[in-house]
Structure 1
Amino acid sequence: MNDMTPVETTLKDWETDQEVRWCPGCGDYAILKAVQRTMPDLGADPANTVFISGIGCSSRFPYYMETYGFHTIHGRAPTVATGVKLANPDLDVWIVTGDGDGLSIGGNHTMHVLRRNLDCQILLFNNEIYGLTKGQYSPTSRSGTRSPSTPFGSVDRPISPCAFALGSGARFIARGIDVHKNLGNTFKEAHAHRGASFIEIFQNCIVYNEDVFEDFVNKKTAPETQVWAVHGEPLLFANGEKGLALDADTLELKVVKVIDRDWQGAGVMIHDQTNRSLAMLLVQMPFGEFPMALGTLYNDPAPTFDAAVMAQNAAASEGKDANLQALISQGQTWTVE
C-alpha cells in the first residue's frame, strides 16, 4: 500500500536475471527502465510489490521486474489483481496491459476495476496496434489504418483510453510518452493516489506501427504539439505563447494566443486536476486542432474497493470466535464408520 514504510533500494534491486526480449527499438524498453528507476524513489519494497499482466507484448513485463508477478490470460489481469489485493491488502499492485489486451477482450474487466476503485496502478501501453499477433488493428487504431485485418483501411472509430477510463468512473487519469523524461514523475503521482490510477502511455511499435505518434512526440515540434497539465498552473504551450481557454458559447476548449505573457488576459484556464469536466475536455481534444494533453489530467480520490471489503469483513466478524471446526460442525452432521 502507499503508506508502507519506505525501503531503501537501487535500480539493480529491481532488475531480474532474465534477458529482456522485445523488438530492438521497442518503446517497452524505455517504459521498463522508467518503472525500475522510479521504484527506489517510491521507497517500494520488492517483497511487497506485485506486477500483473495479461497477454501481449507489454505483458512480458513481470518477468523483468525483481518482484512477485503474474503473467495471466488475455484481458483478465484486473481480475487477478483484484483477487491479489483482497487476499493481501498490504501488497503494492501494478497492472500492465495494452490497448488490445485492456480495451478489447479485457475492456469489461478494465471497466470494473476502475469503477470499483481498487487500490492499484494500471499502466496501459498504447501503440494503436496488435503487436504480438503481427500487426492487426486494435481498438485504438486510427480510422484508415491498414493492417492484415483491415487491408483497405480501418473504418472503425478509435476509442480514447482516457475517455473510457473517465466514463468507467476512474479517479486518477494520466498520459505519458514512453521515452519522455516526465514519465517517472507521472508514476510517482499515480502511486501516491489511493485508488485505481490509470496511465495511458503512448508506446512506439517500431515493427508494425512505427512513428504513429511522431506528430506530437517529435522533440522539435513538441512545444507546439504538447500541453502538460500541472495542477494549479495555466494550460500553456508553444513556449507560453498559446494556451487553452473555455469558450463561453460552446463550453468547449479553444486555443488562444498569449501576448506579452499575459495568460490571464487571454483567458487561459488554470489546470484543476480535481475537475472531472475539465479532464474530459482535455482527453477529447482533437489532435491537430489542439495539442496533445499530457501529465496528470484528473486526480480526485474516493474510498477504495479493497478498504471497503476489509472494513465490511471486520464488522461482520466483530465479537465472533474464529473457529473453523465449529463452523464446519454446525447444523446437521453425521459420522461415517
Structure 2
Amino acid sequence: MSSENVRFVDFKSDKQPTWCPGCGDFGTMNGMMKALAQTGNTPDDTFVVAGIGCSGKIGTYMHSYALHGVHGRALPVGTGVKMANPDLEVMVAGGDGDGYSIGAGHFVHAVRRNVDMTYVVMDNRIYGLTKGQFSPTSREDFETSTSPDGTHQQPINPLALAMAAGGSFIAQSFSSDAQRHAEIVQKAVEHDGFGFVNVFSPCVTFNDVDTYDYFRDSLVDVGDSDHDPTDYDAAKEKILDRETEYQGILYQDESSKPYNELEGATENMADIDESPPEEAMDLVREFY
C-alpha cells in the first residue's frame, strides 16, 4: 500500500470492538488511526503494542502488526520492536492501571530512554475491565467497591512523572474532542523521540465522576493561549497546577535525539548481514 493513498479506514480491522457503548476508548482509537494515516504511515509499516485492561484489545481492532502483551509490559515490548526494526512506526497503547501501576517502572525508563515511538494512555481513572476498582489516577475521595470511603491516596500525575523522567514530548488530550485529540497524537507520532499522550477516556460504566460533561466543562486547552511548549518552566508550571486540567502539548524538546539513533540502531536487524568469523565457525565444527 502506498503511503500517498493511505486512509483512516485502512487501519480498521474486521473485528468488532467489545467495549461498552459510549466508552471513551472508541474515540481514543479513532484518533490514533487518523494520526497514523495523516502522517503517511500504512498498516504494513505500523506495529501496535498493548497490555492488559480495556485498552488491551486495541491491536485486535486496528489493522496493522500487533502484539497483545501482559500486564504492564507493553513499553519494553515496544522498545524491543523499535530497536530491532527502526523502520516500523511503533505505537504503544495502555490504560492508567496498566501504565501507571504495574507498568510504572517501565514507563519511567521508557521516557528517559527516549526511544522514537508513541505511547497513548487511555486514562479513565478506574479499573474498568475488572469491574470498577480505583486506579493510580483516581481521586482521593473516589468511592468504589475497593474504596467505599474514598481512596485516601493522592493520585499520580502522569505528566509530572514524565517530566521528572526527562520526557521530550508530554501532552494530554480528550477522546471526545475528536479533531484536537487526533492532532495531538499526530504531533506525538511526528516527534523525534518518545511521544507521550495521556488521554482522558471516560468510563461510562464504572466512573460517574470523571464524565464527558466534566471534561468538556473543565479542560483548558493550552493551544488557546500563548503557551510555549518549548519553555520548560512554563510547562512545569502547568503540569504541576493542581487546580486546572489541561489539554494540548504541554512540553516538547525540539532538539530531542532518539535513543535508537544514539545507539546506532538505524537498520532492520533482519537485513544486517554479519556472518560469524571463520574462527568461530571452526570451533562450532570441532564441537559438533
For normalisation by structure 1, the TM-score amounts to 0.78
CA distance, structure 1, for counterparts of residue 264 and residue 133 of structure 2: 42
Which residue pairs with 2:245 in the alignment?
292
Which residue pairs with 1:116 in the alignment?
113
Which residue pairs with 2:191 in the alignment?
193
Residue identity in the other structure for 1:97: G
Which residue pairs with 2:270 in the alignment?
none
User: Is the alpha carbon distance of 1:68 and 1:311 closer, same or farther for their aligned partners in structure 2, counting shifts above 3 Å?
Assistant: closer
Give the C-alpha shift of residue 12 in structure 1.
Answer: 2.3
Which residue pairs with 2:100 in the alignment?
103
Q: Does 1:283 align with 2:236?
A: no
CA contact (8 A) 2:176 2:212 kept: no
Which of residues 163, 167, 170 is equivalent to 2:167? 170
User: Is the alpha carbon distance of 1:9 and 1:82 closer, same or farther for their aligned partners in structure 2, counting shifts above 3 Å?
Assistant: same
> What is the 5 A alignment of 1:195-210?
195-210=193-208
Larger relative helix fraction? 2
CA contact (8 A) 2:47 2:66 kept: yes
Which residue pairs with 1:249 in the alignment?
none
CA distance, structure 2, for counterparts of residue 294 and residue 300 of structure 1: 18
Asked which structure has the greater RCO (Cα within 8 Å, sep 6+), the reply is 2
CA distance, structure 2, for counterparts of residue 226 and residue 208 of structure 1: 21
Residue identity in the other structure for 1:66: H
Cα-to-partner distance string for 1:242-273 (whole Å, 9 max, x where unaligned): xxxxxxxxxxxxxxxxxxxxxxxxxxxx3111
Give the C-alpha shift of residue 334 in structure 1.
Answer: 3.3
CA distance, structure 1, for counterparts of residue 161 and residue 202 of structure 2: 21
CA distance, structure 2, for counterparts of residue 327 and residue 137 of structure 1: 59
CA distance, structure 2, for counterparts of residue 98 and residue 327 of structure 1: 50
Which of residues 1, 8, 12 is equivalent to 2:9? 12
Structural RMSD (CA): 2.2
CA distance, structure 2, for counterparts of residue 139 and residue 284 of structure 1: 17
SS of residue paired to 1:94: strand
CA contact (8 A) 2:86 2:266 kept: no
How many percent of aligned residue pairs carry the same amino acid?
A: 34
User: Is the alpha carbon distance of 1:34 and 1:332 closer, same or farther for their aligned partners in structure 2, counting shifts above 3 Å?
Assistant: closer
User: Is the alpha carbon distance of 1:158 and 1:335 closer, same or farther for their aligned partners in structure 2, counting shifts above 3 Å?
Assistant: closer
CA distance, structure 2, for counterparts of residue 227 and residue 99 of structure 1: 21
CA distance, structure 2, for counterparts of residue 61 and residue 211 of structure 1: 25
Which residue pairs with 1:303 in the alignment?
257
Give the C-alpha shift of residue 325 in structure 1.
Answer: 5.3
Give the C-alpha shift of residue 152 in structure 1.
Answer: 1.9
Residue identity in the other structure for 2:239: V
CA distance, structure 1, for counterparts of residue 277 and residue 258 of structure 2: 33
Aligned residues: 281
User: Is the alpha carbon distance of 1:211 and 1:27 closer, same or farther for their aligned partners in structure 2, counting shifts above 3 Å?
Assistant: farther
CA contact (8 A) 2:204 2:211 kept: no
SS of residue paired to 1:93: strand
CA distance, structure 2, for counterparts of residue 294 and residue 178 of structure 1: 11
> What is the 5 A alignment of 1:204-243?
204-214=202-212, 216-218=214-216, 222=217, 225-230=218-223, 235=225
Structure 1 stretches of 4+ moved >6 Å: 330-333
> What is the 5 A alignment of 1:144-183?
144-180=141-177, 181-183=179-181
User: Is the alpha carbon distance of 1:151 and 1:325 closer, same or farther for their aligned partners in structure 2, counting shifts above 3 Å?
Assistant: same
CA distance, structure 2, for counterparts of residue 11 and residue 124 of structure 1: 20
Q: Which runs of 5+ in 1 are unaligned?
A: 236-269, 314-320
CA distance, structure 1, for counterparts of residue 280 and residue 147 of structure 2: 58
Give the C-alpha shift of residue 65 in structure 1.
Answer: 0.8
Which residue pairs with 1:323 in the alignment?
275
User: Is the alpha carbon distance of 1:115 and 1:25 closer, same or farther for their aligned partners in structure 2, counting shifts above 3 Å?
Assistant: same
CA distance, structure 1, for counterparts of residue 138 and residue 279 of structure 2: 54
CA contact (8 A) 2:86 2:265 kept: no
Give the C-alpha shift of residue 216 in structure 1.
Answer: 4.3
SS of residue paired to 1:310: coil
SS of residue paired to 2:197: strand
Which residue pairs with 1:274 in the alignment?
230
- Greater C-alpha radius of gyration: 1
CA contact (8 A) 2:122 2:199 kept: yes
SS of residue paired to 1:96: strand
CA distance, structure 2, for counterparts of residue 215 and residue 282 of structure 1: 22
Which of residues 20, 25, 40 is equivalent to 2:22? 25
